[in-house]
Amino acid sequence: MIRYRILSWNVNGLRAISGKEILDGRKFPEFLNHEQPDICGLQETKVDAKSLPPELGRIGDYFFYLNPAERKGYSGVGLYTRKEPDDISYRFGPGEFDHEGRTIIARYPEFTLYTIYFPNGGASEERLAFKLRFYDAFLAHIRERDAAGERIIICGDVNTAHYPIDLARPKENETVSGFLPIERKWLDQLVESGFIDTFRLFESGEGHYTWWDYKTRARSRNVGWRIDYFF
């Protein structure tokens, strides 16, 4: 059996983290070379090929793929992989989802990996509707590929906390996008379709989050949300 070590990370700007010490004094290229994951999926890269620093385009023996948004400095996903995929694609459904750089699909002999940056629905009713359309189209697509026999791994920023245990203040956020019943119901449907939240296979406790509001210094108080997943 071939084993893969896969990381997923919403970097909130790939160029921004490239110059920062992020772990044990290491900057991002050093971090990647030290950790040596087989695959590293990134979300919210906020960079296009023209503005990507050369040192980020080729790190060690990694192949690098980038799907930027048409709007500069916004959204985007990336993928570092030590093994060149059999196929790479950047879309899964209707054309309205192609402009924001939210998807990379990498097909390997053993599985198909999706690194996805799902929309945030908090800005307006229109953005919430867009998020829900994205959710529905992706679920239909992933069910179809599963039925066709593909072994699927989904990683990325889903922008929704599934259960009350997945955020520090569930009561206060029941009417906030990211914890709305309709958003959480979609995660129910994903799980009911056979996809497994792998973190919860190993950890059932509370207090484990992946996003904290930097404006309120929430990380130091661990007032966060678990919105990033592997399925």
CA distances from 47 to 11, 27, 35, 147, 164 (A): 11, 18, 23, 35, 34
User: Is residue 213 annotated as part of the catalytic site, yes or no?
Assistant: no
Tokens at 144, concatenated: 């179809």
- The DSSP H or E segment spanning 153 is strand 152-157
Rounded CA-CA distance 6/130 in Å is: 29
Catalytic residue among 98, 146, 157, 166, which?
A: 157
Asked whether 141 and 86 are in contact (CB, 8 A), the reply is no
Rounded CA-CA distance 110/108 in Å is: 5
Sheet holding 63-67, edge to edge: 6-10, 39-43, 77-81, 63-67
Q: Please name which of 94, 129, 128, 101 lies closest in space to residue 115, comparing C-alpha atoms.
A: 101
Rounded CA-CA distance 165/149 in Å is: 33
Distance from the first to the final alpha carbon of the chain: 20
User: What crossing angle do the helices spanning 125-147 and 181-192 adopt, rounded to 10°?
Assistant: 0
Cite the active site residues: 157
